[in-house]
Chain A
Amino acid sequence: MADYRELWKSLDMDLEKHDKLCEVLPEFYEDVYLSQKNRPEGMNYYNFVISEVHGLRIKELDDHKQNGGKVLGTFCVFVPDEIIFSADAIGVGLCGGSDFWVPDGEKVLPRNICPLIKASVGAKISGTCPYFQSADMLVGETTCDGKKKAWEILNDYTPIHVMDLPQMKRENDKKHWKDEIKLFMDKVEELTGNKITEERLNNAIKLINRKRRVLQRLYNTRKADKLPISGKDALLITQIAFYDDLERFIQKTEELCDELERRIEKGVGVFPENTPRILVTGTPMAIPNWKIHHLIETSGGSVVCEETCTGTRYFENTVKENNKTLDEQIDALTDRYLNINCACFTPNEGRIDDIIRLYKEYNADGVIYNTLSFCHTYSVEYKKVKEALDKEGIPVMMIESDYSLQDSGQIKTRLEAFFEMLKERKSAYAK
């Protein structure tokens, strides 16, 4: 890796602390990722991106800023990237996925808050995340209570614009969300000094749709009988999609998909036959949170799909293209985004339909319902989801955990028992 210390210094980072973070990450990545057998060649690109996660990409953001461009940090898949990119700004997803940042988060937040919020806030106040440091503005939203209140704290460090996301999906909520998108447009125009025109927005819509389509293409390969790619690798790619250069990401992912489709033709898989296929549903998994996927795939299971914000919720449904007026474009954005089924909404029956549909589409054997500790919306919603899945005869198990590895042993035993159960069921059906 090139020397980025000067760059980091210019971003006002805590270099000493940051060194500690840089020390642990490579080894962790090696244990979790590089140890996998028979990985697709195309994963080399994403290995590279991770090895340069605080380097090359930060340099690119810096170059962009030197040329007068702006960088916006976001935390939720409801924030429309199209608006950001149409003003020639760059959007990066900022959620914190490492235990490393939790103690700093706990300095200003109560203990019983989800680790995602703690880590995100901790990353900022410890000055060890160059993405946070690069952001000219943060974009928050009124989703769960923990995040809503955390914005007030983050605002002391970086200016933040908060989008008021409705919690229901009635007609007037749609109108309201449309207004919020317009307000966001004004804000972004003001920050960047660039006017968002019909043409620019149209291009941005097309560009982001291309990213969605390539992710969908990637996920389609996971429907195959023999999985050409592990769940861990697929998760990594979705996580990287949140901050990588768009054109390059799309191109590299198309190339990977070519390889995966060839694998499917040849019948090459990364797991032994009869490995239980798992649909993971629940809270987002921010880089480098690979815990549940890693535990599943080292306990005799494989992940075939994620119904999460670092999964299908991020890329399913595209925005309608070729609208004639700006107003129609904003309508199209409103429709696409308000179609996401997040547990912050009430009711949220759409999510249940999604889980059942994905279970079938990806030919899964069971569902792991994963929620971060202290996430109320997702853990409360479990009851409704479980009832519906029971009715469908779909096995589901809930795992609640944070970023620490203390509970790994117990989770592994539970996963193994769950997989034993799924196998038994399968062979009972076969008879």
Chain B
Amino acid sequence: MYTIGIDTGSVATKGVLFNGNIIKKVIIPTGWSPKNASKQVYTLLLEDNNVDKNKVKKVVGTGYGRVSMVFADKTVTEITCHAKGAYFINNNIRTILDIGGQDSKVISLDEYGNVREFFMNDKCAAGTGRFLQVMANLLEGDVNDLDKLAEGTAPKQISSMCTVFAESEIVSLLANGASKESIAAGIIQSIANRAVTLLSKTSIKGDIAFTGGVAKSNILKKYIESKIKKNIYTPNDTQIIGALGAAVIGWNMIDK
């Protein structure tokens, strides 16, 4: 008996085949059609593992493309799925900080892994992966290089949170001869400040998980840790947590 969870995001579509444990995960680019991408993930999961589709009892969809997943038994928001996925990996987690490409959020869980409350940044790129990307482009580097660049350098203060203003601030910092390294560190610190503000909206108890594409940045993690004076935990493959949560929700739906 299996379940499948599929998380169709704006950039990548993720899938998990599940039978109480993770059997298989796949990640493909979403491309222009979220509908095709989710179908493709579904087929890949079945074929690669020689699983008969009758053995899959539930398919649960999440992510912004969930509305187009006509073959799913149920669709659930990424917030609930994130909570379930993170809790499955580590049931001591009570707070999740998720910084993705388009938005950032904080989810607080109870001891059963149910969502207690959650907060999202409001329709603005500040403090998201998008912000990092724009800034990295300015330094003529890749997002993944920012970390390397910033390593061991004291951050240059970047005061604007707004992507547009921060951009011009950085241009003038560069013109005034500030080093790329210190600016890279400053950019990461600015994201950290946003994340800490978001975290402060909920009372932090138990372990904190840091997820989403931006969670790969070690320096960002360290900045946040030093500000909230607590260790945070970055699960491996943070990208599939939503899909995993969807699969877990499907698993809980079936009579075993």
Contact = CB atoms under 8 A, between A and B. Distances in A.
A421 B123 contact: no
Contacts of A190: none
Given A407-B123, A410-B103, A410-B120, A417 B80 contact: yes
B76 A420 contact: yes
B78 interface: yes
A397 B103 CA distance: 18
By DSSP majority rule, is chain A's interface helix, strand, loop, or mixed? helix
A424 B84 CA distance: 12
A429 to B, nearest CB: 11
B218 interface: no
Interface string A407-422: 1011001101100110
B237 interface: no
Contacts of A417: 77-80, 115, 118
A406 interface: yes
Contacts of A395: 117
Interface in A382-431: 395, 397, 400, 406-407, 409-410, 413-414, 416-417, 420-421, 424-425, 428
Contacts of A406: 123
Nearest to A409: B64
Contacts of B157: none
A413 B114 contact: no
A425 B123 contact: no
B112 interface: yes
B122 interface: yes
B114 to A, nearest CB: 5
Interface in B192-238: none
By DSSP majority rule, is chain B's interface helix, strand, loop, or mixed? mixed
A407 B122 CA distance: 9
Contacts of A400: 122
B77 A420 contact: yes
Contacts of B80: 417, 420-421, 424
B123 A420 contact: no
A425 B123 CA distance: 28
A400 B122 CA distance: 9
A421 B83 CA distance: 11
Nearest to A412: B77
Nearest to A427: B114
A414 B117 contact: no
Contacts of B118: 414, 417, 421
Interface string B111-129: 0101111101011000000
B79 A424 contact: no
Contacts of B79: 413-414, 417, 420
A428 B80 CA distance: 15
Given A424-B115, A428-B114, A416 B103 contact: no
A409 B77 CA distance: 12
B103 A420 contact: no
Contact of A428 (B112, B120, B122): B112
A415 B4 CA distance: 25
B56 to A, nearest CB: 23
8 contacts: A397-B117, A409-B64, A413-B79, A417-B115, A421-B115, A421-B117, A421-B118, A424-B115
